[in-house]
Amino acid sequence: MSESLINAGRQTLLLELQEASRLPERLGEAFVRAAETVLKCEGKVIVSGIGKSGHIGKKIAATFASTGTPAFFVHPAEALHGDLGMIESRDVMLFISYSGSAKELDLILPRLAEKSVALLAMTGKPRSPLALAADAVLDISVEREACPMHLAPTSSTVTTLMMGDALAMSVMQARGFDEEDFARSHPAGALGARLLNKVHHLMRKEEQIPQVQLTTSVMEAMLELSRTGLGLVAVCDAQRQVKGVFTDGDLRRWLVAGGALTTAVSEAMTRGGITLDANSRAVDAKERLMQRKIAAAPVVDDAGILVGAINLQDFYQAGIL
Q: Confirm whether residue 200 is marked as ligand binding.
A: no
The whole-angstrom separation of Cα 65 and Cα 203 is: 33
Cβ within 8 Å of residue 263, ≥6 positions away: 217, 218
Query: Hey, which residues does 308 pair with through a beta bridge?
Result: 299
Burial of residue 270 (number of CB atoms within 10 Å: 0-12, 13-18, 19+): middle
- CA dist list (Å): 83 to 15, 52, 91, 108, 302: 38, 20, 14, 11, 52
Would you say 171 and 271 are in contact if contact means Cβ atoms under 8 Å apart? no
Query: Hey, which residues does 73 pair with through a beta bridge?
Result: 47
The whole-angstrom separation of Cα 190 and Cα 188 is: 7
- What's the farthest any 2 CA atoms get from each other in the chain? 93
Interhelix angle 248-256/218-228, rounded to 10 degrees, is: 140
Would you say 122 and 75 are in contact if contact means Cβ atoms under 8 Å apart? no
Would you say 164 and 152 are in contact if contact means Cβ atoms under 8 Å apart? no
Angle subtended at Cα 291 by Cα 290 and Cα 295, rounded to the nearest 5 degrees: 35
Sign of the dihedral through C-alpha 267, 272, 278, 282 = negative
Would you say 99 and 128 are in contact if contact means Cβ atoms under 8 Å apart? yes
Where do the H-state alpha helices sit in 41-83?
A: 52-66, 76-79
Residues flagged as binding site = 75
Residues flagged as binding site for Zn(2+) = 75
